[in-house]
Chain A
Amino acid sequence: MDIRPYGDTRDDGIVQLSFTLPLVYSVKAPDVGKQYVEKLGFHDVGVAECKAIDPGFTFFVAYGRTDTGIDPDQVKGDYLEVEEMDYYAINSLIKDKLGRKLTVVGAAIESDAHTVGIDAIMNMKGFAGNYGLERYAEMNALNMGSQIPCEQLLKTALERSADAILVSQIVTQKNIHVQHLTKLIELLEAEGVRERFVLVVGGPRINNAFAKELGYDAGFGPRTTPLEVASFLAHEVVRRAAQR
């Protein structure tokens, strides 16, 4: 069944928009903005704000109604459904089913100088109220930090006989992150060690389907917590160990 945006009444279809047009402000500017929003397919358009924010640019806040709906049941995709456990359950799963510590190596690779993502997931302190992977008694977690060449990451993963590699890519422009992520996959394949690792990527531009397309086992987007990553790793490494 279709659903529509909810303003204050079911199916009213109210959407809030803000945008800037490269338009010199004049008395006609509000109408330019209104008709633009109508061209997007909205009706009952109201321009709440129309302001010159520079001589050549006009900023708009507008509301409009849409008749377009969407049926959530028709939305299909490759979603990562992790059975989330708590900190203790994850540790005992590893201890009981794997019988040794789970080793994970993580880094922000190549030119990416931003550790915020990998730190949030791996550092002892963690993020959003849950501990990072370093805190897990049953994990050997190494956060290598930022700007780590793919070669160095792989070398470390091999030296430590890692079960999993975590890669973070935060900053991107002109899709540089895709080149970096592809480079790592190609390197693993060239060395013939791709299958040794559970390979996970995270970052603001990452989702699971995209990660899989690139050849990763899983992708985590924004708002991911350490618990989700830890749950996935524990399940996946245990599952693979059972298959061997």
Chain B
Amino acid sequence: MEQALKLDQALVARARAAAETIADDIQKHIDAHTTDSTERASLRLLGVTGVNEIDVPLVNVAVEHARELLSGGIMRPFVDLMMRTDKSSQEVAEGIAAGALEVADVAAERRAAVEKRATELAQQAVAHIDDVRRRRNQLVAEVGEPDKPYIYVIVATGNIHEDVVQAQAAARAGADVVAVIRTTAQSLLDYVPYGLTTEGFGGTYATQENFRLMRAGLDEVGAELGRYVRLCNYASGLCMPEIATMGALERLDMMLNDSMYGIIFRNINMQRTFVDQYLSRLINARAGIIINTGEDNYLTTADAFEKGYTVVSSDFINEAFALRADLEPWQIGLGHAFEIDPARPDQVVYQIADAQLVRQLFPEYPLKYMPPTKYMPGDIFQGHVIDAMFNFTGIFTGQEIMLLGMLTEALHTPLLQDRYLSIRNAKYVFESCRHLRDEVRFAEGGIIERRAHDVLHKATEQLEEVKQIGLFAALERGMFADVQRDPHGGRGFEGVFAVGDDYFNPLFSELRNGRLSGAPVGPRPGKKAAATGGGH
């Protein structure tokens, strides 16, 4: 860190300590509750899949049938049924859906045997996740690991088959990570749609089959290029832990997975979201998935210059929750963004200050840097220049996951050529400025240092205020993104259940037990990576 800004380390320590207390406080709530999506994810981990005759997922049907028993968790009564009928998890779920089997409380004398069996099934589920993770490690070792920063682009056609075509083209042009944007409002569905889909609104449904198809498409192009291409989706919304489960099974590599995003931007109940994020992050941790947090969104509603500190304080909170769910540093992709108004004099100077600050506060994490969106003009030529300044700021401050801006950001989901032009822009800037950060120093007491100090100071004060009043009250007052939320309002509150003394779910302990660690490692990308055919 040759060019490090001088930061007040006492402030950093105060901020981090406040975030720890905030997260500990919420963790007590998390430990005292479960949700229907947490229980559904548990059944998915036992292998339950598919839908009934009206397209309701069987996990929803089974959990709905067990609604009265949820304070004790779904695992015990469900596994009891498996044992009593000598059927597989899938057969039991089908039996419940057909009305042939009924979930019931487990007789006291059977409990020990049922719990033993459930623990074995949880161990098998976790072993399966580990196998998928080992497969990723093996592929990265064989195929090749790209240089940082990762070039991250989105596809969003609505049709999974077109998505694969576009994703492969993006990978050949240089993308290291492809995210499939979800159809608008999927986050508000209280179930996960099933099967492959060819229609969506503003994106493509996240389904397990769509995950599998895209995974296969990226593996194919990765082998061709000599570079493992990562797949990203969204473990967010009302089905956070279920999508994390699907991602763990289908070898996704990254997941948007924020502890507060759904509360603020989708009006999902906060009690629900905090409980859901915990299991989803335990699963992501186990699966070797890198999470991305969504602080960039704050700056689309609040002003990036005035409220830049809310990003930093939220990063501290997301960090604290991530560490409580066993995520390793290399898995914690905290978010921030390039959203200061380009009309502001010294805009890029301030962006560098904010980005460098986040870089130094979280030195071990692969930060996810988000491009300009709010002020992107219809003038695509000007937009391309603004994106270049974003790329410059990213490479100059050592960001590791660069979500590329598109020159047509303000207009439509990216065209094939938009993605190509955007990647070309990024590669030029990254290669031409790669070592600049080692060559320059920040002026002592200059604009950048003063701005960084100011943002850190305000973030620390905000965190200490949140610590005093509690995170629920802070969200109620609109302290993040200027959006106010009611702890008892929002979507999905009816799916939150207080757990009883007899709550039983061995997945929570098994997911933590004897986990693998470390990021995948592989050789630098093969030569083929640079080849995209002819032309002048």
Contact = CB atoms under 8 A, between A and B. Distances in A.
A48 B361 CA distance: 46
B145 to A, nearest CB: 23
Given A18-B417, A19-B417, A173-B200, A119 B301 contact: yes
Contact of A53 (B169, B199, B378, B411): B169
A147 B238 CA distance: 15
Contact of A52 (B184, B373, B411, B532): B532
Nearest to A30: B536
B98 interface: no
Contacts of B184: 111-114, 171, 173
Given A25-B534, A116-B300, A125-B303, A57 B169 contact: yes
A54 B201 contact: no
Contacts of A58: 535
Interface in A160-183: 171-174, 176
Contact of B536 (A50, A171, A173): A50
Interface in B175-211: 184-185, 187-188, 199-202
Contacts of A222: 378, 410
B301 A123 contact: yes
B428 to A, nearest CB: 14
A55 interface: yes
A19 B417 CA distance: 7
B38 to A, nearest CB: 23
Given A125-B303, A173-B158, A55 B201 contact: no
A145 interface: yes
Contacts of A49: 536
B530 to A, nearest CB: 13
Contacts of B185: 111-113, 147
Contacts of B483: 145
B416 interface: yes
B300 A20 contact: no
Most buried by B among A25, A53, A222: A53
Nearest to A129: B343
A54 B535 CA distance: 11
Contacts of A172: 201-202
A204 B374 CA distance: 14
Contacts, number: 90
Contact of B173 (A18, A26, A54, A146): A54
A235 interface: no
B168 interface: yes
A174 B303 contact: no
A147 B267 CA distance: 9
Contacts of A76: none
B161 interface: no
B443 interface: no
B446 interface: no
A53 B416 contact: yes
A168 to B, nearest CB: 13
B191 to A, nearest CB: 16
Contacts of B281: none
A115 interface: yes
Most buried by B among A111, A115, A145: A111
Interface string B292-319: 0000000011010000000000000000
Contacts of B188: 111, 113, 147
A95 interface: no
A223 B375 CA distance: 11
B415 A174 contact: no
Interface string B515-536: 0000000000000000011111
A4 interface: no
Contacts of A51: 535-536
Contacts of A54: 168-169, 172-173, 416, 420, 532-533
Interface in B257-285: 265-267
A197 interface: no
A220 interface: no
A42 interface: no
B535 A25 contact: yes
A59 interface: yes
Most buried by A among B158, B184, B188: B184
B337 to A, nearest CB: 14
Interface in B128-170: 158, 168-169
Contacts of A111: 184-185, 188, 201
Most buried by B among A49, A54, A59: A54
Contacts of B267: 145, 147
Interface in B238-268: 265-267
Interface in A90-136: 111-116, 119, 123, 125, 129
Contacts of A55: 172, 533
Contacts of B415: 20
Interface string A136-161: 00000000011100000000000000
A222 B408 CA distance: 14
Contacts of B200: 173
Contacts of A129: 343
Nearest to A55: B533
A178 B271 CA distance: 35
A174 B199 contact: yes
Interface string B377-421: 010000000000000000000000000000000110001110010
A124 B185 CA distance: 26
A178 B157 CA distance: 19
A115 B201 contact: no
B158 A50 contact: no
Contacts of A57: 169, 416
A18 B420 CA distance: 13
A72 B365 CA distance: 57
Nearest to A177: B201
A153 B77 CA distance: 43
B533 A25 contact: yes
A208 B72 CA distance: 57
Interface in B408-438: 410-411, 415-417, 420
A53 B265 contact: no
Contacts of A112: 184-185
B441 to A, nearest CB: 35
A25 B532 CA distance: 10
A204 B411 CA distance: 8
Contacts of A114: 184
27 contacts: A20-B416, A20-B417, A49-B536, A51-B535, A51-B536, A53-B416, A53-B532, A54-B169, A54-B172, A54-B416, A55-B533, A111-B185, A113-B265, A116-B373, A119-B300, A119-B301, A123-B301, A125-B303, A129-B343, A145-B267, A147-B188, A147-B266, A173-B158, A173-B202, A174-B158, A174-B201, A204-B411
User: Which 8 A-B pairs rank lowest in CB-CB distance, beginning with the nearest?
Assistant: A52-B533, A51-B535, A54-B169, A111-B185, A171-B202, A53-B420, A173-B201, A20-B417
Given A51-B535, A113-B266, 10 more contacts: A51-B536, A52-B532, A53-B169, A53-B417, A53-B420, A54-B533, A55-B172, A115-B301, A147-B185, A176-B201
